[in-house]
Every structure is written in C-alpha cells, then in structure tokens.
Amino acid sequence: MLDESTIAAIADDLAQAEKDRTKIGLLTTKYPDMTVEDSYAVQNEWRRRGEASGRRLIGHKIGLTSKPMQQATGISEPDYGAIFADQVYDTGSVIDHSQYSGVRVEVELAFVLKDELRGPDISLLDVLRATEYVVPALEVLSSRIEMEGRTIVDTISDNAALGAMVLGGNPVAVDAVDLRRVGALLYRNESVEDSGLAAAVLDHPARGIVWLANKLAEHGDVLQAGETVLAGSFTRPMWVSPGDTVHADYGDLGVITCRFE
C-alpha cells in the first residue's frame, strides 16, 4: 500500500492535470507496485477534496462493464467513480469541449434509487426493488492520465475517466420495459457511429448496480437513496471534437442531444 503522502501527491498531480487540461504519465509506470486499493484511495482523496470545497455528490458511475468497453481499453474488470452535481447536463446542452481532455461519449442507462443499497450480498432483485426509475444517459469521458497502456489502477485513480453526464429521454419504471432489450443509435453530426443493446452490460444493466453496491461495501460505503448511478456503456467510446453534435436515439425511451463547442 502507498503511504498517505504519496496518495496526496498523486491527487495533487491529477488535480493539476484537470486544471490544465493535460495528462500525467501512467501511474503504473511511476508506481509499479500500486494496487487497486491504492487507486481507490487516490479516488477517495479526490472525492474528499471535492466535497470539502462544497461540491455535492449525487451518485456514482460504473465503467468497463461491457465487452465493447473492455475490448476498447484492454481492461477486463469493472471500476467505479463518483459523480458531482456540477458534472450533470440536461439534454440540449451546449458543452464546453475545452473543459475536458481526451473527450469521448458513451451510451448508457442511469438508475435513480429510491432506497438505500447496502452490500454485501445485494442481488439483482434488490436493485430492481430499490430503483425509482431508469432514464437514458450519455457519459462524457475525460482522461487526466495517459490513455495508451493504462491499467485498471490508472483508470480508478482517474475517477474512472468521468468528465460529465447528460440526462434526457423518458424516465421509465424497471417493470415498464425489458431493460435488457433497450437499444440506442448513437449519432455524431447526423451519421450513425454506433449502436447497442443494454444487455451488453453484464447481461442486464442492473447487474452493474449489483456489482457496485457489493464493491462499495468492501470500502465501507453504500449507495444512498436518491443517488443516480450510471450503469455502464453498451457502445464503444466515440471521440468528439469542438463543433460536433451528439444525438442518441433510444426508441421508445426518447432521445438525448448535446453539442460541443
């Protein structure tokens, strides 16, 4: 395990990279013995600093839950990160591309909880019972660490590469649709770039929430009532540039549109 001063120094470097819109080198190169628990300690320090500065935690994201995402990154296990209120946009928003680094977009579903989920031993049915509604969402990825050759340790330390979240479409109850068969077409500037079904996320998008609730329990944390949880992408990350318009069509669940400038 890395000592507290090293954890703080890594958090400092990541904060400076976020401020400067740059990337630092791979942590696994500088700290070859760094563990997954070390990386969650770095992420928790980032979260602690955010809350201390007045930012409001509103949920979590789950990453690397689908085969397309794992193949795109070369990483074979999920991770998670924290979401603050100032990272959330509504559909139709214009987003400042320069706020982020290595900007990509993913198609996801967001689960909004009405009840607490406290692991361990959370099941799929527990998650479905605790969910108030599910709503379409886009995740905007931003990387503060070099992308080439990164491992799970790098991505976790980087708050699972979260930049922002865009919410839209039609909220639905978990029993109103077959969540496994929710699909989406992802457009960039009026051209379809990707598509997918939510079943690509661990065979059912709620299984990501199961994993998260049980993983948080290992770290002495819980999913609180009212939290929004991004369940994981079922498309590959799509690169976006200034001037691009992104549109995601979820069929009966509606659409999300945003523009980067």
Q: What is the DSSP string of 200-218?
A: GBTTSTHHHHHHHHHHHHH
Q: pLDDT for 75-108, tens place per residue? A: 667 899 999 999 999 999 999 999 999 999 999 9
The span from the CA of 27 to the CA of 22, in Å, is 15
Q: How confident is the model at residue 231 (pLDDT cuts 50, 70, 90)?
A: very high
pLDDT at 179 over 80: yes
* CA pseudo-torsion sign 87, 46, 112, 162: positive
- Contact by Cβ (8 Å): 42, 28: no
- Contact by Cβ (8 Å): 190, 21: no
- The predicted model gives 235-239 an average pLDDT of 94
Q: How confident is the model at residue 128 (pLDDT cuts 50, 70, 90)?
A: very high
Amino acid 69: pLDDT: 63
- The predicted model gives 197-224 an average pLDDT of 94
pLDDT at 68 over 70: no
Which DSSP category does 239 fall into?
E
The Cα-based distances of 217 to 17, 31, 43, 112, 133 in angstroms read 30, 26, 16, 19, 23
- The predicted model gives 143-168 an average pLDDT of 94
Q: How confident is the model at residue 72 (pLDDT cuts 50, 70, 90)?
A: low
What's the whole-number average pLDDT of the chain? Answer: 94
Q: In this structure, what are the phi and psi dihedrals at residue 251, rounded to the nearest 5 degrees?
A: 65, -125
Amino acid 1: pLDDT: 83
Consecutive H or E run containing 37? helix 36-52
Amino acid 65: pLDDT: 82
Amino acid 40: pLDDT: 95
The span from the CA of 107 to the CA of 76, in Å, is 19
Amino acid 38: pLDDT: 96
Domain boundaries, the chain: 4-260
How far does Cα 128 stand from its chain's mean position?
Answer: 20
Amino acid 77: pLDDT: 74
- Contact by Cβ (8 Å): 81, 245: no
Let me know if 230 is exposed, middle or buried by CB neighbors in 10 A (0-12, 13-18, 19+): buried
Give the range among 70-79, 105-114, 142-151 with minimum mean pLDDT. Answer: 70-79
The Cα-based distances of 196 to 106, 235, 256 in angstroms read 11, 6, 15
Amino acid 75: pLDDT: 67
In the chain, % of residues over pLDDT 90: 89
Describe the strand order of the beta sheet including 255-260 as a list of residue ranges.
94-95, 255-260, 245-249, 183-188, 191-197
The span from the CA of 60 to the CA of 80, in Å, is 7
Residue 86's region, left for phi above 0, alpha for psi from -120 to 50, else beta, is alpha
In the CATH scheme, what architecture does the domain 4-260 have? Alpha-Beta Complex (3.90)
pTM, two decimal places: 0.93
Amino acid 183: pLDDT: 97
